[in-house]
Amino acid sequence: MLTRLSIRNIVLIEALDLEFRGGLGVLTGETGAGKSILLDALGLVLGDRAETALVRAGEDKASVTASFVFPALPAGIAETLDDAGIEIEPGEPLLIRRQVKADGGSKAFVNDQSASVALLRALAPALVELHGQHDDRGLVNPRGHRELLDRYAGTDLAALAAAWRDWAKAEAQLAEARAEVEQAKADEDLLTAHLAELDALTPEVGEEERLAAQRIDLQKGERLSGELEELRHIWEGSDSPLASLRVAARKLDRIAEEHPLLAEALAALDRAVIEAGEAEETLERAAEALVHDPAALEAAETRLFDLRALARKHRCEVDELPALMEEMRRKLAAIEGGEAELGALERAATEARAAYLAAADAAHEARAKAAARLDKAVAAELAPLKLDAARFRTAITGLPEDKWGALGRDAVEFLIATNPGADFAPLAKIASGGELSRFILALKVALAEKGGAATIIFDEIDRGVGGAVASAIGERLARLASDEGQLLAVTHSPQVAARGGQHYLIAKASSGTVTKTSVVLLGAEGRQEEIARMLSGAEVTPEARAQADRLLEGV
């Protein structure tokens, strides 16, 4: 609830610090004293437009600071602050400050951290609910009527939202699968042609490197074939070096025993024969590896070039072609199995839709039953508020499917008819501002136990009424206020003022050319005098004081 309001240099207010408690607080004063200035100042911390005309004449800036305290921080406020990166400790007050410069522009702060005006507007609905003569927010705005009815009905919105999310997810998966199948079908002919082209080559991983090495060897064989042929002639035949070495070794073997040096020479000659033999074998293998085969070279080059051309066509490496083939096969298989998968997804989406419709129907039924109770409860409040001929109705209408969502398929709006035989119309379209305020009070009383903003403000709800009606308004305002909540009423009615647990007097005084507005919290004697003034006018009479005492004693 609102615990403190500090105002500096706002219109006629130079400096003002007000403290508030829970329950019903009333603000009174003569017409023109400046009650609207307080509401304008509070509006600044709630995100209203910062008008430079609000800055007190002769000052360069104005400021308003509001302090709110909660037994436990409401979830909506906590989430909004968390999204904005603003931390608040448990039990810590929420401080909102707004500065307005005389030359234009404004700044906002939440717990001394810079904040946007949009953040103030996001916080406002959970902080203060203002109902005035020209109110176009709160209960008047039909956008909040469904939420109010759901709160009153205790609608299971969590189950409804979960069913909506499940249906939306199922529909998204189905749409994605359909798009994939449609795209695959569009690509089917091209995929088939590409796969046939790849199948004709059947590329293998590592094949490019192997073919490139083979091509190099075949090209070398072409270049070295003459030299290798000459070497073969040298090593072959009876007069070849190796044959001569073998002949020499045989002859030396016959006489090697005759002298140690001959034995050494034989051993060396044997090694030479062995190594020469190895050299011959190696040359033969080299000749085989470097054989000049024009057909094999052409085949290797043709396949290598074909593979590389295909890789360029598909913008990949040659070694990636086998994986590309498998991917194409999977896509073609997906086209064949896509219809079966679509069928399963369609069934899942149908089941999810049915579950959502069931949850939406349950929410509709809860709303319909609650609407009947609410209409009856509001009707019971209308006669005491001098709205005997008026009628109230909670209209629940179905939304087109493209407007369905996590909150169901219903649109909710509070309608009224102020005269017998008149058609029902939205709250905002009734003729009288006083009637509007009393309708809102009746609705708030009916909804009182179902939550709302921490602080509720009624601005001149008693305009144009008096006597028993004013007493009924005061009684209902007191009933609506509670120790856990807070209600402030700007009033001209002594019957309403007498109900207040706190009574603030707003007064305007002039000194020369300077006019100032002040606000004071009245004690018991001050309350009696102010209520007596409200009863009698400019001159307070003993009879008015006596009547004021009776009003105060009667509450």
Could you report the per-residue pLDDT of 176-209, keeping only the tens digit for each?
A: 988 877 877 777 778 888 889 898 888 999 988 9
- Reduce the DSSP state of residue 95 to 3 states and report it: strand
Per-residue pLDDT reduced to its tens digit, 148-176: 899 889 999 999 999 999 999 999 999 99
Extended strands (E) in 11-142: 13-19, 23-28, 61-68, 94-101, 106-110, 113-115, 128-131
Q: Is residue 555 part of a domain?
A: no
Helix (H, G, I), strand (E, B) or coil at 122: helix
Residues 11 and 54: beta-carbon distance below 8 Å: yes
pLDDT, tens digit (0-9, with 9 covering 90-100), for 11-47: 888 888 999 988 899 999 887 767 888 888 999 999 9
* CB contact set of 76 (below 8 Å; sequence gap of 6+): 125, 126
Residue 192, domain extent: 167-340
Alpha-carbon dihedral sign for residues 477, 478, 480, 486: positive
Mean pLDDT within 93-119: 92
> pLDDT by residue (tens digit) across 225-270?
656 666 666 666 666 777 777 778 788 888 878 788 888 888 888 8
Domain annotation covers residue 290: yes
How distant, in Å, are the alpha carbons of 15, 356, 422, 471, 530 from that of 389?
46, 41, 10, 19, 34
What are the CA-CA distances from residue 550 to residues 12, 49, 233, 461, 476 (Å)? 35, 43, 143, 23, 19
9: left (phi over 0), alpha (psi -120 to 50) or beta: left
243: buried, middle or exposed (CB in 10 Å: 19+, 13-18, 0-12)? middle
Is residue 169 within 8 Å of 359, Cβ to Cβ? no
Assigned domain for 299 exists: yes
pTM assigned to the model: 0.63
Closest CA to 128 of 3, 306, 239: 3
Share the mean pLDDT of the chain: 85
Pairing of strands 455-459, 425-426: unpaired
Contact 44, 50 (CB under 8 A): yes
pLDDT (0 to 100) of residue 34: 75
Q: What is the mean pLDDT of residues 446-473?
A: 78
pLDDT tier at 474, thresholds 50, 70, 90: confident
Q: Average pLDDT in the 61-80 region?
A: 88
Beta strands 61-68; 2-10: pairing state: antiparallel
Per-residue pLDDT for 450 more than 60? no
Q: Please indicate, yes or no, if residue 236 is contained in any of the structural domains.
A: yes
Our CA dihedral for 288, 292, 293, 294, rounded to 10 degrees, sits at: 170
Tokens of 341: 């998968």
Please check whether residue 352 lies inside any domain of the structure: no
Position 328 in a domain? yes
Per-residue model confidence (pLDDT) at position 169 = 96
What are the contacts of 204-209 at 24+ separation with CB within 8 A? 204/322, 205/319, 205/322, 206/319, 207/307, 207/318, 207/319, 208/304, 208/307, 208/308, 208/318, 208/319
Residue 261 CA to residue 253 CA, distance in Å, equals 12
Q: Quick check: helix, strand or coil at residue 464?
A: coil
Measure the CA–CA gap between 141 and 147, rounded to whole angstroms.
Answer: 11
The token pair that represents 532 in the structure block: 């007596």
pLDDT at residue 174, rounded to an integer: 93
Residue 331 lies in a domain: yes
pLDDT of residue 394 exceeding 90: yes
Which region among 353-362, 430-439, 536-545 has the lowest average model confidence (pLDDT)? 430-439
Higher-confidence residue: 274 or 294?
274
- What length does the chain have? 555
Query: How many structural domains are present in the chain?
Result: 1
Count Cβ neighbours within 10 Å for each residue of 181-198 and write b for 16 or more, e otherwise: beebeeeeeebeebbeeb
Burial class from Cβ neighbours inside 10 Å (0-12, 13-18, 19+) for residue 523 reads exposed
Residue 188, domain member (yes or no): yes
